[in-house]
Amino acid sequence: MNKASMIWIDWKLAGKSLAREWMNRFFMFFLLGGFLLLLLASHGINRFLSEQWVVNAVLRLNVSAAEGAGIASKARKLPAVRSVVYKDPEAAWSEFLADYPGLESLRLEGDNPVPGYLHIRLLPERLTAEDIAGVENALKPLPQVEKVFTGAKTLPRLLKVRGWVNLSLWVLFGILSSILFFMCVLQEAARARALRADFSFLAERGVSHAAIMTGRAVGSALVAGLLVLPAIGAAWLLSIAAAGRFPILSSVLGPVEEVVRSGGFPFVVLYLAAVPCLIFVASLYGWRASKIQTHRK
Amino acid sequence: MLEAFRVGMIGRSGTLFDGFEAAFRDGDIWLVTGPPASGKSRLLAVLHGDGRPDAGDVMFDGVPLYRGTPDAASRFRSTAGLVDEMIDAGEHSVGELFRLASLVAGGVPETERKAREAALLSMVGLPGSSDYAFRSLSMSEQVRASLAIELFRGPRVLLLDAPFARIGKEWTEMLSALFRALAREGRIIVFTEREIPPLFPMKPVKESTRCGPFLLTQLAAGSSVEAVG
């Protein structure tokens, strides 16, 4: 018997139960792939924090709306900056009145007493002490800028907590991957045990155990390779559909397209390559765990 | 040619046999007789490349099965068939075992497999038994079904453990004729029995030779009349 025909031996011997097994695995690949995409798109909790964390640059009272808009467009060009919202003095005055109604009299005696300001949000992956300091250093020397509020005092503790949370999320991903791996090992071992008589039949007629073992492992890896791509594709499409329906997801988890922009694509490729490799190893372990004897006692 | 060189096996209670030597040529039929628990089944397993001997080696067409390349025994088994005394086919039906045999043969198309399966089962007197569970068959039927399954792959060497003792008198003539036909095609047939069955239709070519606890008898591949002559 040639080795190529050993690749699909499990399908030939137990096609129906194997199909059910692979449906479960497809679902697991989908869940795990979806989790990875969300991790990459959200950068852990970086996106959530970058949405909440705002650097405010208060402009001087005499800065005109045109000057303020010019500073805002310069701030947008800073590498760590994701978005800049400029509120000119009139808009700032309106906000002030909305927050403190009844203080219109403050303006009767002269010009607008409320200065314009910039709301600056950073890119999720650039929310670091260095990048925040970089934004501050870029704006502070400008004569039109009165003060820059970065929240620098509380930032280090927050970043520390963020680091631990992000690490925990990746550890969780690792645990889920390990669970999938051991589930596959158990499935492979159970199937090898169930087909033990058939494998013995083949071995007694000249098909070596090594050929059966490697053939099964290669077959499993090939099927895993064929399924993991549509599984992660389905997770990708579902993320896009969910973000379209629930916009809040986009702000917390981020658009999935972000994975490509922020350099997460190699991780996806690594996942696509790692899953078939892990399934290959799971099949070999499963064979060993089934304790099929290679020689007659 | 299948040759055994100074083959020895140790059992639980000591040496089973030692220094077993034999040369089975293409087209030969050999009967190995020996008392109970003398190691006949172990000897067949050794000759089948499926049980490493404690001493000596077995060679097929000049290639050692045990002390040569690691896959030599596997390659030999792909050209040999063994009908064991204890046949463990699990829950498989006869047809499923033919399907497994076709997988060993490299995947035979379904229609061809079924046609050959039907022809072989008819030849051993078991037409239409494909769907029966192997374990539900009688002992005689199991031996004949096993033989048909092994013949599916067209083995060059056929090894059988006590086939005549289990097959029943009414099938003795059929089995003898089948052995002779297979031998005339150049296949080597080696089978074991405790003793030569009474009214055995196959005649020895020459005097039996003793080899350890076993008595080796070469049987005539031609008709019994020719052999006697």
Cβ distance of A9 and B82 shorter than 8 Å: no
What is the pLDDT at residue A229? 93
Question: Residues B44, B51: contact at Cβ < 8 Å?
Answer: no
B42 at interface of A, judged by CB pairs closer than 8 A: no
pLDDT band at A205 (very low <50, low <70, confident <90, very high): confident
- Compute the count of residue pairs across chains A and B with CB atoms less than 8 Å apart: 59
* CATH of the structural domain B1-79+155-224, one choice from 3.90.1150.10, 3.40.50.300, 3.40.50.620, 3.20.20.100: 3.40.50.300
- Alpha helix ranges (H) inside B105-205: 110-123, 139-152, 163-167, 172-184
Look at residue B17 in the predicted model and tell me its pLDDT.
86
Percent with pLDDT over 90 in chain A: 34
> Which residues in chain A are contacts of B74 at CB distance < 8 A?
203, 206-208, 211
CA nearest A208: which of B72, B90, B59?
B72
Closest in B92, B97, B104 to A207, CB measured: B104
What DSSP string runs through A158-223?
HHHHHHHHHHHHHHHHHHHHHHHHHHHHHHHHHHHHHTHHHHHHHHHTT--HHHHHHHHHHHHHHH
Residues of A in Cβ contact (< 8 Å) with B80: 206
Cross-chain Cβ contact A205/B101 below 8 Å: yes
Residue A157 has pLDDT above 50, yes or no: yes
Cα(B89)–Cα(B14) distance, integer angstroms: 31
A73-97 average pLDDT score: 88
Tell whether A4 lies on the interface with B, counting CB pairs under 8 A. no
B2 at interface of A, judged by CB pairs closer than 8 A: no
- Provide the residue ranges of all domains of chain B, joining segments of one domain with +: 1-79+155-224, 89-154
* Structure confidence at residue A293 as a pLDDT band (50, 70, 90): low
Check CB contact of B107 with chain A, cutoff 8 Å. Answer: yes
User: What's the pLDDT score for residue A296?
Assistant: 47
Which of A12, A206, A211 is facing B77, going by the closest CB pair?
A: A206
From chain A residues 192-231, the ones with a CB under 8 A of any chain B CB are 197-198, 201-208, 211
pLDDT band of residue A108 (cuts 50, 70, 90) is: low
Q: Which of A71-85, A120-134, A240-254, B49-63 has the lowest mean pLDDT?
A: A240-254
pLDDT given at position A90: 83
Q: What is the pLDDT of residue B224?
A: 43
Average pLDDT over residues A71-84: 90
Q: Does the structure's ipTM exceed the value 0.95?
A: no
Q: What is the pLDDT of residue B225?
A: 37
pLDDT of residue A196: 85
Contact criterion met (CB < 8 Å) for A197 and B89? yes
Rounded to a whole number, what is the distance in Å from the CA of B50 to chain A's nearest CA?
A: 6
* pLDDT at A126 exceeding the cut of 80: yes
Task: Please check the confidence at residue A109 and state whether its pLDDT lies above 70.
Answer: no
Please indicate if any CB of chain B lies within 8 Å of the CB of A9. yes
Query: What's the mean pLDDT in A180-186?
Result: 91
Confidence of residue A6 (pLDDT cuts 50, 70, 90): confident
The mean pLDDT value of chain A amounts to: 86
Confidence of residue A247 (pLDDT cuts 50, 70, 90): confident
Query: Does the pLDDT at position A72 exceed 80?
Result: yes
More confident residue, A290 or B77: B77
Residues on chain B touching A211 (C-beta within 8 angstroms)? 74
**CA-based nearest residue in chain B for residue A201:** B100
Which of residues 176 through 215 in chain B touch A, CB cutoff 8 A? Answer: none
Whether B88 contacts chain A with CB within 8 A:
yes
Cα separation of A251 and B127, whole Å?
72
Burial B127-146 (b: 16+ CB within 10 A, else e): eebbeeebeebeebbbbbbb
Look at residue A26 in the predicted model and tell me its pLDDT: 95
Q: What confidence score (pLDDT) does residue A202 get?
A: 87
Say whether B74 and A295 touch across the interface (CB within 8 A).
no
Q: Which two tokens stand for residue A90?
A: 């009139």
Averaged pLDDT, groups of 10, chain B, 229 residues long: 91 85 91 89 91 91 88 88 80 89 81 92 91 91 93 92 88 89 92 82 82 87 45
Mutation for testing the A interface, residue in B43, B65, B103 having most A CBs under 10 Å:
B103
pLDDT of residue A270: 92
Contact between A1 and B105 using a beta-carbon 8 Å cutoff:
yes
- Pick the more confident residue, B16 or A170: A170
Query: Quick one: closest CA in A to B81, which residue?
Result: A205
Question: For residues A41 and A239, is the Cβ–Cβ distance under 8 A?
Answer: yes
